[in-house]
Amino acid sequence: MPAQPLELILARQFGDSLGMPCFLVDPDGNLLFYNEAAETIFGLRFGETGGMRVEEWATVFTPTDGDGNPIVPEDLPLVKTITTKSPAFGSFYIDSLKGDRIHITVSSFPIMGRPNRFLGSMAMFWKTDAL
């Protein structure tokens, strides 16, 4: 794996120190890291999965709306951030690897290097009560 920019290394360190679930992706959406708090929701330790290509991890958790309909990737906050390089926010359901259907709220933001280099995105999320 090629060396990562300092900003992504620092973002991973920051995410690792958070008690709030978070994950980090590169500009193509490939998963670089998720923290211990996210492991409890996902049901899988990062040490067991390591990084994953977007095609792998995007299908693992199956984002759906309140009626169980799949959410198109373009409507997910993290994909919006990757596409627009702007913060995004949203709520939806995921299926954990334990088989639980969990309602989460997600805030994502771009990781920018100097001078104005888009390096990836970080998403923080939390369990919420369904509306």
Tens digit of pLDDT for each residue in 35-85?
Answer: 999 988 877 788 887 788 877 776 677 889 999 999 888 898 998 999 999
Question: Dihedrals φ, ψ of 61, to 5°?
Answer: -100, -5
pLDDT over threshold 70, residue 110: yes
Entry pTM: 0.85
Question: d(Cα 67, Cα 81) in Å, to the nearest integer?
Answer: 25
Angle at 36 between CA 33 and CA 42, to 5 degrees: 80
Residue 87 CA to residue 44 CA, distance in Å, equals: 27
